[in-house]
Amino acid sequence: MPASSSRRWLLAMAGLCVAAVAAALLSQHVFGLQPCPWCILQRLVFLLIALACLVAACAPALLRTGLAALALLLAAGGVAAAVHQHVVASKSSSCALTLADKILTALGVESLAPWLFQVTATCADAAVDLFGVPYEYWSLAVFVALGVGAIRVLSMRR
C-alpha cells in the first residue's frame, strides 16, 4: 500500500480522537455531564493517540510504524480504562486514589488545562447513559475502532 493510504488512515484516526474529546467537552460544558478521573484519563489517552497519529502521518515509514504501534497500545489501554470504569469504578462511591486519579495527579494535567482535564464528579455520579448505552461504552467503541485502524496501518507496512 502506498504511504499516502497509511497517512489517510492516521489522519482519520487523529480526527476520530479529536471528535471524541470534543463530544466529551460538549457533554460536560453544554449538557452538564461531569467527568470522573476515569473519564479524564480516557480524554488524555484520546489526545495522546491523536498526537501519535498526527506525528506518524508526517513521519518516514519506520517511525510511522513505531507510532502506529504506540497508537495501538494506547488504544488497548483506553479499552482497559473504559471497561474498568464500567465494571469497577462506576460501582464505587469514590474515585480518589484509584489508578486513574494517581496518573492524572502525577502528570499534573489538571493544572495545565482545567477546562479539559479537571475532575468534577465521582465515578458513581459520572455513570450515565447516552441513548441507553453507558457513556464509557461509547468511549470503548471508539478505542476499538482506533485499535482496528492502527492494525490496518501496521498491516500496510512494506
d(CA 18, CA 131): 21
Residue 69 has pLDDT above 80, yes or no: yes
Counts of helices then strands in the chain (DSSP H, E): 7, 2
Question: What ranges do the domains of the chain cover?
Answer: 3-155
Residue 53 has pLDDT above 90, yes or no: yes
- The answer to pTM > 0.85 is yes
For residue 6, the one-letter residue type is: S
Topology of domain 3-155, CATH? Bromodomain-like (1.20.1550)
The answer to whether residues 73 and 119 touch, using CB atoms and an 8 Å cutoff, is: no
Measured in degrees and rounded to the nearest 5, phi and psi for residue 129 equal -110, 150
The distance of Cα 36 from the centroid of its chain, to the nearest Å, equals 14
User: pLDDT tens-digit profile of 120-147?
Assistant: 888 777 677 778 888 889 999 999 999 9
The answer to whether residues 59 and 124 touch, using CB atoms and an 8 Å cutoff, is: no
Kindly tell me the burial class for residue 100, based on how many C-beta atoms sit within 10 Å of its own C-beta (0-12, 13-18, 19 or more).
buried
